Structure 1
Amino acid sequence: MNLKGNKMNLIMLLPLLIGSVGILQGTINRHVATHIGVAQATLISNAVTVLICIAFYALVKSVPSLVPDFFQVKAPLTTYKWWFIFPPLFGFCIVTGIPLAFAKLGAVKVTVLLVAAQMVTSVVWDIFVEDIGLNMMKFAGILCALVSVVLITLSKN
């Protein structure tokens, strides 16, 4: 039995799970926001996230053997660089923007637009940051995603 291959197959499930959770988060946040407002929903959501992150950080620091090496603390917080602020800013945009987009467009249209934007952005990132070229299969996949965006966006509901 090829354990490395099985681990790779299992890790392929992670983006599927995250994608599903992302849709659930956005749609539930939309409903929460309609009851208490986006500002308050975002505050509650991020406060809970901070508490979970603090608990996770404490766990990793106190019992590092419980988590894979990828999650280990590798440098002190004093090595924080100015540009490390961008991921939380992007996360804030996602947490506040997705519920609004879902409310105005619906989950399917938003999701298809998100996937298309993610595909294009990831190809640009791979080309210019990771030095990974664009091949015909990737190009065809992006083209299919863009066609999907057009078809779903043009649908009446």
Structure 2
Amino acid sequence: MVSLPDVLPRTSPLLMIDISVPRSISADCALLDGVEVRDVDALEPFAEETRCQYADEVSKVEWLVNAAVDEFGQWTRSRSGAPAITALRMRADEVRDAEVERTLRKLSHLSERDQNLVRAMANAVTRKLTHDPILALREAETDQEAEHILRTLGVSRA
């Protein structure tokens, strides 16, 4: 407990705030010139006034936090399909690359430019064929739904 001898002699003002229960600062300390003692009970009116002043701001901040939480939830749900999308793209690319290489071996007479055109055409076909399944995977709300889409397409997550 802080008592009178602890704060004597004083040459400058002193504010003592006692937030403990039971009190740690003797009430006698407030009798000294330049010493002000506040306890939890004395702070309550200030706290209530501050709560009232900021009530509108608190509700605005709560609204912003809730909006951010909702947005984050939507983003997380949209990301839940990412591994499935990656698996689909990898499988589509594997099939495309294997078929392009197999075909180009049979068409060895094609120029480099023509071979690149075949590759570009195969890439375009792959992108177009995987577009709708990728959209479906992005919209999948559960891993089970994404797995069902992959199974339907004959893709496994290796």
How does the TM-score come out when normalised to structure 1? 0.27
Higher helix share goes to which structure?
1
More strand by share: 2
Query: Could you tell me the TM-score, scaled by structure 2's length?
Result: 0.26
